[in-house]
Structure formats: C-alpha cells, structure tokens
Structure 1
Amino acid sequence: MDNEQMAIRTTYFSIAGNTALALIKGLAGVFGNSYALIADAIESTTDIFSSILVLLGLRYASRPADENHPYGHGKIEPLITFMVVAFLVFSATVIAFESIENIQTPHRVPKYWTLYVLGAIILWKEMSFRYVMRRGKESGSSSLQADAWHHRSDAITSVTAFVGITTALIGGPGYENADDWAALLASAFILYNAYLIFRPALGEIMDEHVHDDLIEEIRLIASGVDGIEDTEKCYVRKSGMRYHIDLHAHVRGELTVRQGHDIAHRLQDELRRALPQLGQVLIHIEPA
C-alpha cells in the first residue's frame, strides 16, 4: 500500500470513529445531565467534518503532476490543515461560550454512570491518536497528523470532563458547576492544540528549513554514488507527502558534459530508489 492510500484509509477510520463517539457522547450528556459530555459531542461533530475535509484534501493531493501543477497537488494538504484548525477554533469557541452560560445557570449534578462512558472514550481516543499519528508520520501527511491531534484534543476534553463530573459527584450540592468549568478548561486545551497543528502547516507553506535529517541522509546516499566527489547546497521543500530536492553535486572538472550528465542521472536514480518519498529531484553538477 502506498502512502496516499494508507492516509486515505486512515481518514475513513477517523470519520467512522468520530461519528460513533459524537452520538454516544451526545446521548450520554443529555440523559446524564453533563454539559461537559455535550461539549465533547460538539467537538466530535466538528471532527467529523474536519476528517471529511482531510479525506477530500488527500484525494486531491494524490493526483499526479500535470502541465499546470508540475510539482503535483500536494500543497493542498497544509491548506486543508488550516481549515481543520479553523474547525478546532470554532468548536473551542462554542464550548467556551456555552460553558460560561451554563456556569451562570443552576442545574442538576451529572449522573455517576457518565464516568464509565468517559473512561471508555478516553481510552479509545488516545488509542486513535496514536494510530492516526503513526500513520500520518509514516505517510508524511501533515493533514493526517492534524487529524490525529483532533483525537488527542478529544481525549483531553474527555479527561477534563471526567475530572469535572467526579468533582461534582464528590462535592455534592454547590459543586454542580464543576462539570461546566471542566468544559471551559477543555476549550483552552483545544485552542492550544490548534496552535500546535497550525505551526508546522505554516512552515510547510513557507518552505521552512526543517529537514536536516533528510538532508543528511541525501548527502550520505550521494557520497556512495560513483563519480560524486562531494555535495554542496541541498534544499528540501515539502509538498503534501512528497519532498522536492535541489542538490548541488561536485564531480571531477575534466569530465565531459555527457559524463557529468550520466553521473547526475545515476545520483537521481539512487536517491529515488533509497528514498521513495521524494518527488522532483534536481541535480546541479559543479566541478570539484
């Protein structure tokens, strides 16, 4: 299975999981008198739409390069990530607003059984985060890694809800609002996670230099190609799940143009063989 197909299948997993959990949290929140669970359901609902966006983005990004997009369509990925961040900010704002309103409104203590529901949700969402994040790193998909953080933020909101409901149940009368304060705290965690997702996506759009490990690997591979004396400049920019390379390589100065050209192609082929995640590989030959 290639990286694109792996990322797309993982997104289907996120959509199915978020849909089921949104229903479970919503019903448990309504019948269990817990706004923290209802807030959790709101976030899971926005997660469904953000996962659908990720899926559409991944399908578009997997299109091959064409005349109008010689470097492929991968730049759609960080743009989709920005939209995922917008969903996170929106859900955090809604949760914070509703929490403040509920804090000012008297209501009943949540039901004790909601803690069992939350415990199962926390376990599932943390496992989902680890699975989707692993797939995102394996495929090199920034939008899939952003989707993974949705699972982690969901787990965090569920933890705060668990603490809030526990406090309300132990404290009894006068502590009914602990559940709502927990939801308000969860909204702050969600906003912080939104920033963690936004920052690397911005770096990808701006072609930020963050690929030192890959550059070292490229130089090591180049040093083993017959005819390459040394390497100089090496620039890497990420587009979707592909890395486009500009590399300056030194060869002996007395070689003919054709010999230098052949060495450059050998280096190009070796890099693509060793690093299948590479896209365009431009080799600039210089005399040693």
Structure 2
Amino acid sequence: MENAKLGTRASLITISVNIVLCIFKMLAAFLGKSSAMLADAVHSLADILTTVMVIIGLKVSSKAADTTHPYGHEKFEPIFSKIMSFILIFTGASIGYRALMDLVSGNLNYPGRIALIAAAVSIFVKEFMYWYTIKIAKKIKSVTMETDAWHHRSDALSSIGTFLGILGARMGLKVLDPIAGLLVSFLIIKIGIEYYLKSINELVDHSAEDNIIRQIEYIASNVPGVINIVNLKTRSFGNKVYADIEISVDGDLTVNEGDKIAENVHGLIEDNISDIKHCLVKLKPK
C-alpha cells in the first residue's frame, strides 16, 4: 500500500509538469508552424494519458487478495502496461502519418523561434522526469511506472530530434522539420512494442530473475537440517514472485521436526526477499 502511495504521488507530479509542458508545446507548434513540434506536443499528451493509466494500475494492483482474486491483483499492472503500450504505438503511428503527408504534399513551413525554444525546454524537463520516475519505479518495482519513465525518456530523445529538425529548417532545409516528426514517430512505436513484449512476460509464468533464484538457494541451503535442494521453481506474478522449493531432509526425523525445518525455510525466504509473495516448501526424506 505504501508503494502505491509513493507511485501515485510521483505520477501526480509528472502529470502536473506534463500538462504545463504540453500546453506550452502546443502553442509553440501552432505559433511556430512546426509539424515536428506538433508531433512532440502530441507525444507529451500521450504521456499524460499513460501516467493516468499508471495511477489506476498501481491502485488496482495494490489491492489485497479477496474471494474473487485469492492470489491478489498484481497481474492487473502488466495489463495496464499493455494498454499503455498500445497508446504509444497508436500515438507514434498518428504522428508518423501526419509527418509523411506533409512530406508528400510538400507542405513545408519555416518554423518560428518559439518552436526551437520549446524543444530545448522539453529536452531538459523530460530528461529530469525520466530520472525521477525511474528511481521511484525501481524502488517500488513497478513495471507500469518503469514503462512510464521510459516514455519520458523517449519524449526527451524525440525532443532532441525535434530541436535538430527545427534548427535545420530554420537554416533553410525546411524538409528537416517533417522528417524530424517522422523519426519521432518511429522512436515512439519502437518503445511501445518493447514494453508490450515486456508486459507479456509479466502475464505468463516466467521464471524469476537469476539474482532472486540465487538468494532463495542460498537461504534454503543454509537452514539447519536441509541436506540439499532437490527442486526449485519460480514464477512471476505481476511485480511479485511465487516460489516452490523441494528440500531433502534426514528420513529419520519426526514429522514435527521436518515441519519445523520447512517452516524455517519458508519464513526466512519470505522475510528476507521482498520480491517473494509466497513460498511453498516440500520435504523429501533421504
């Protein structure tokens, strides 16, 4: 619940900054007559929509288990991440289509200075927002928020392309303005596809990261009474992990003694690895 509050607060801050930045870039695009800046502004508008999705995703995925969802709601987060990926892909395709039409029709403008200034401001603001959001995302282990952070980074990179395109157009190469818009669209689509694939991994029974598996093996093997680890299976569940571990113990132990060892393994793994949502321990007498 604390992670959800932290993520929501960070998202509300980025939404506020994005709204101001989006309005500024929209005005700069129309006043400066720049298709590249218009593409950049639409990208920022998509940022606002995806950050709203982050807030909804964090709120839903942090809900406690209930009778309808006895294993919790963590898998709702990658579902929202998939929706955000679709928004990115659609946004990129729309921007690319408009830029391509400008190139085909020869509708080339001389962009104003305000468009260049807006691009420069966007580069610095969006890069700052990336580092701020990615720090929070890593802390609370949120794939949806990480997607949003890279959305900020993509906006910063697209603003660099926008800046160079507008600068080149102002120097006489007007064709660079719509070309910059087209490049921005490809970048957005690429990031959208990458995070769509990442969200798919979060929804299937994908094994945990190697470092988590090593931690589980180290903790279990050092519990008194454990002879060795017979089998270990892990699966991701949203931003959490389920672990099934089978340990070998002395066959001459009583049932209570064996249960005590299993309880120790279970407790130490769940208490010391924050990513673990549940650990199931099975005994195999030797």
Q: Normalising by the residue count of structure 2, what TM-score does the alignment of the two structures yield?
A: 0.94
Q: Deviations over 1:93-140 (max 9, x none)?
A: 110111112222434311134323212211121121122122212211
Asked whether the equivalents of residues 208 and 241 of structure 2 are also in contact (C-alpha less than 8 Å), the reply is no
Match of 1:234 in 2: 232
| 4+ residue segments displaced more than 4 Å | none
Match of 2:131 in 1: 130
Asked whether the equivalents of residues 246 and 282 of structure 2 are also in contact (C-alpha less than 8 Å), the reply is yes
Identity %: 31
In the alignment, which of 260, 266, 280 is matched to residue 278 of structure 2?
Answer: 280
Match of 1:118 in 2: 119
Q: Is 1:5 paired with 2:5?
A: yes
Structure 1 residue 210 displacement after superposition: 4.9
Q: Is 1:60 paired with 2:60?
A: yes
Separation in 2 of the partners of 1:11 and 1:287?
51
Asked whether the equivalents of residues 71 and 279 of structure 1 are also in contact (C-alpha less than 8 Å), the reply is no
The verdict on how the C-alpha distance between 1:110 and 1:155 changes in structure 2, with shifts beyond 3 A counting, is same
Separation in 1 of the partners of 2:45 and 2:252?
65
1:279 partner letter: K
Separation in 2 of the partners of 1:209 and 1:268?
19
The verdict on how the C-alpha distance between 1:7 and 1:245 changes in structure 2, with shifts beyond 3 A counting, is farther
Q: Is 1:139 paired with 2:137?
A: no
Match of 1:221 in 2: 219
Q: After TM superposition, list the pairs within 5 Å mapping 1:1-288 onto structure 2.
A: 2-103=2-103, 104-170=105-171, 172=172, 175-288=173-286
1:248 partner letter: E
The verdict on how the C-alpha distance between 1:277 and 1:4 changes in structure 2, with shifts beyond 3 A counting, is farther
Separation in 1 of the partners of 2:83 and 2:107?
36
3-state SS, counterpart of residue 108 of structure 1: coil
Separation in 1 of the partners of 2:229 and 2:9?
39
Asked whether the equivalents of residues 164 and 182 of structure 1 are also in contact (C-alpha less than 8 Å), the reply is yes
Separation in 2 of the partners of 1:233 and 1:13?
45
Separation in 2 of the partners of 1:241 and 1:207?
12
Q: Deviations over 1:36-56 (max 9, x none)?
A: 111111111122112111211
3-state SS, counterpart of residue 93 of structure 1: helix
2:161 partner letter: T
Asked whether the equivalents of residues 227 and 252 of structure 1 are also in contact (C-alpha less than 8 Å), the reply is yes
Separation in 2 of the partners of 1:5 and 1:239?
20
Asked whether the equivalents of residues 89 and 193 of structure 2 are also in contact (C-alpha less than 8 Å), the reply is no
Unaligned runs of 5+ in 2: none
CA RMSD of aligned residues (A): 1.7
1:234 partner letter: L
Separation in 1 of the partners of 2:232 and 2:135?
28
Separation in 1 of the partners of 2:140 and 2:248?
32
Unaligned runs of 5+ in 1: none
Q: Deviations over 1:22-68 (max 9, x none)?
A: 11111111111211111111111122112111211110100111222
Q: Normalising by the residue count of structure 1, what TM-score does the alignment of the two structures yield?
A: 0.93
Separation in 1 of the partners of 2:33 and 2:129?
27
The verdict on how the C-alpha distance between 1:230 and 1:9 changes in structure 2, with shifts beyond 3 A counting, is farther
Matched length: 285
2:205 partner letter: D
